[in-house]
Amino acid sequence: MFPRARAFVFWLMVLALVVPSGALRAESGAGPAPLPEPPVTVPAAGMGTLHDALQLARADQADHPAAIAGFQRLAWEFGTPLYIYDRATIIGQARLVKEAFGARFPRLKLFYAAKANTSLAVMSLLRQQGLGMETISGGEIIAALRLGVPGPDILFTSSSKSPWEIELALREGVLLNLDSLDELAQVEVTAARLGTTARVSFRVNPGVDPHTIHQINTGISESKFGLHLAGGAALAAYRRALRLRHVQVVGLHCHIGSQITDPEGYVLAAGKVLEFARELKEQLGLQLAFIDLGGGIGIPYHDGETVMTPADLAAALQPIWQKGIARLGYEPTLWLEPGRFFVAPAGFLLTRVNSVKTTPVKTFINVDAGFNTLVRPAMYQAYHRVRVIGPKNRVVKADLAGNVCETGDILAADRMLPRPQPGDLAVILDAGAYGFAMASEYNSRPLPAEVLVDGDEVEVIRGRGRPDDLFRHQRIPGSW
């Protein structure tokens, strides 16, 4: 071989060794590169669908050949870390809420709190189930509009709305759920300028503690959200709104928190807002088109845990609702806006083991996801079940440690798990809500891909981030 050609081949080999496989595949845009070891066990005919593999993992049967084959296929085709959503589960969860409340509340409208999972494919699935969209930002409003959701089926709730977001909502006929008197004034001025009438509700703070994680406990009086019922702030806001020319007051909203596993807080909040609705009628002559009791329906994150179901919640709310509307003398439509309940159990975060290390203190399973991929464990000490894919031999007590350069990047602590080998797969359950939606590129790791499983079909719904994404909007002054 000529010396030049030899040098070329040499450098090619060096390149192949030093450039991470993910980087090459991301650069080529041709999807994931093969994992270093041949991981594919071709599933035998009739062995089970991808949906079955996901459900086997949930049922703690990640050692089942169909589970192993399914997850290996997903990792092989799409790379890791990978968010996987099960279409049937999302639809099933939506049905549970529709049926539970539909049976007891003839006047009912359901929304999906898009912040839980803002992937367009997921939002679109829930839209197909007949849900409106509860949005929290201009970006989420635009997402809903892109899916063809009409403005009146979009509710915009945020405690801090920017002028462009207010204007967008008004132009599109989106219902604005207001959180302060300043916001009311801005909405009035903007609606007047646009020559339109704003349809609004107020988010009220009922001062109710649903006993959930502190950071997501929104209905307590210390929280930044809502106009307090106590002390008359909420009543004053309605009074002022009724005097404005470009504002039409249509509803009342309260959301007391997230991951609520007991109906008690809802019942207390419902009692308070219904009583307040009576005050609005008696003192201001106002009749509300709807009362929105927010989202917050929790799910079981632990094996064997039982929590409030939508049916339990509907049953618990019905008597207080009936009593309330009897005193009110009319029936507003009940609105609900769950997020987590629809999507959390449908989501799986598939990650690959990079190394396993036993220190004098404990064993760490180091994986290729971190709190940049799923922040809930680091941020809220949230518990997510973990399954190591493969035979359940040699169980060890270990931490599933992320790849972020921080001590707190532990995805699961002190779990009894089969000791994996580098290259093995692990899956984190219930990752469909506030998973990808809260992911970041911290530590210069591009965002993971998302796929939707339907039976044995699977489609990419968001391509894997590329190293180039990290630099897309950056400039070094003077260099370009």
- The residues near 36 (Cβ < 8 Å, ≥ 6 apart) are 21, 423
CB 216 within 8 A of CB 257: yes
How many residues of this chain interact with ligand LLP, rule: CB under 6 A? Answer: 22
- Asked if 83 is part of the footprint of ligand LLP (rule: CB under 6 A), the reply reads no
Nearer to ligand LLP, 68 or 412 (CB): 412
In whole angstroms, give the CA distance from residue 293 to residue 313. 12
Residues 364-423 that bind ligand LLP (CB under 6 A): 376, 380
Q: Are strands 247-253 and 290-292 parallel, antiparallel or unpaired?
A: parallel
For strand 132-135 and strand 108-113, is the pairing parallel, antiparallel, or unpaired? Answer: parallel
Residue 340 or 445: which CB sits closer to ligand LLP? 340
Choices 138-146, 255-263, 392-400, 421-429; region in contact with ligand LLP by CB under 6 A: 255-263
* Residue 255 in contact with ligand LLP, rule: CB under 6 A: yes
Q: Residue 221 Cβ, how far from ligand LLP at the closest point, in Å?
A: 17
In the complex, what is the shortest distance from the CB of residue 214 to ligand LLP, in angstroms, rounded to a whole number? 11
CA 460 to chain centre: 18
CA dihedral 112, 412, 71, 93 (to 10 degrees): -20
Q: Considering the rule CB under 6 A, would residue 52 count as an interface residue with ligand LLP?
A: no
Q: Which two structure tokens, joined as six digits, stand for 402?
A: 């992320």
Where b means 16+ CB within 10 Å and e means fewer, 153-169 reads bbbbbbbebeeebbbbb
Q: Judged by CB, which is closer to ligand LLP: 389, or 429?
A: 429
| Least CB distance to ligand LLP at residue 312 (A) | 15
Smallest distance from ligand LLP to CB 156, Å: 10
Residue in the structure block whose two tokens are 């975060």: 349
Smallest separation (angstroms) from ligand LLP to the CB of 394: 33
Q: State the nearest-atom distance from the C-beta of 345 to ligand LLP, in Å.
A: 12
Query: Which residue lies nearer to ligand LLP by CB, 81 or 338?
Result: 338
Of 118, 190, 258, 403, which lies in the binding site for ligand LLP, with binding defined by CB under 6 A? 258
DSSP 7: H
**List 259, 351, 373, 403, residue binding ligand LLP (CB under 6 A):** 259
- CB distance 260 to 266 below 8 Å: yes
Closest to ligand LLP by CB, 244 or 369: 369
The interface with ligand LLP within residues 291-350 (CB under 6 A) comprises 294-297, 337-341
- Pick from 123, 434, 439, 447 the residue near ligand LLP by CB under 6 A: 434
Answer yes or no: are the C-beta atoms of 371 and 46 closer than 8 Å: no
CA distance 235 to 469: 48
Whether the bond into 319 is cis, omega within 30 of 0: no
DSSP β-ladder status, 175-178 and 154-157: parallel
Q: For ligand LLP, which stretch binds (CB under 6 A), given 49-57, 112-120, 193-201, 414-422?
A: 112-120
Check binding of 134 to ligand LLP (CB under 6 A): yes
13 φ, ψ (degrees, to nearest 5)? -65, -40
Instruction: Please confirm, yes or no, whether 405 is among the known catalytic residues.
Output: yes
Give the residue with the Cβ less far from ligand LLP, 86 or 292: 292
Cβ–Cβ < 8 Å for 417, 365: yes
Candidate segments 56-64, 143-151, 254-262, 402-410, binder of ligand LLP by CB under 6 A: 254-262
Q: How far is CA 476 from the centre of its chain?
A: 35
Q: Which is nearer to ligand LLP, 119 or 259 (CB)?
A: 259
Stretch that binds ligand LLP, among 92-100, 288-296, 358-366, 468-476 (CB under 6 A): 288-296
Which of 5, 17, 45, 405 is an active site residue?
Answer: 405
SS3 of residue 199 by DSSP:
strand
Relative orientation angle of helices 181-194 and 233-242, to the nearest 10 degrees: 20
- Which of residues 113 and 458 has its CB atom nearest to ligand LLP in the complex? 113
Query: What does DSSP say about strands 198-205 and 227-228: parallel, antiparallel, or unpaired?
Result: parallel
Query: Minimum Å distance from CB 10 to ligand LLP?
Result: 50
CA distances from 88 to 16, 75, 110, 385, 387 (A): 41, 21, 19, 20, 21
CB of 97 to ligand LLP, least distance (A): 10
CB 402 within 8 A of CB 439: no
Position among 216, 229, 241, 288 found at the interface with ligand LLP (CB under 6 A): 216
- Locate 430 and state its tokens: 């219930």
**Cα torsion through 27, 31, 35, 41, rounded to 10:** -170
- Beta-carbon contacts of 198 under 8 Å, excluding residues fewer than 6 positions away, are 170, 176, 187, 188, 190, 191, 246, 247, 248
Judged by beta carbon, residue 52 or residue 430, the one nearer ligand LLP is 430
Instruction: Tell me how far, at minimum, the Cβ of 336 lies from ligand LLP, in Å.
Output: 9
For the annotated catalytic residues, the residue numbers are 405
Q: Which spans of this chain sit near ligand LLP (rule: CB under 6 A)?
A: 113, 115-116, 134, 157, 216, 255, 258-259, 294-297, 337-341, 376, 380, 433-434
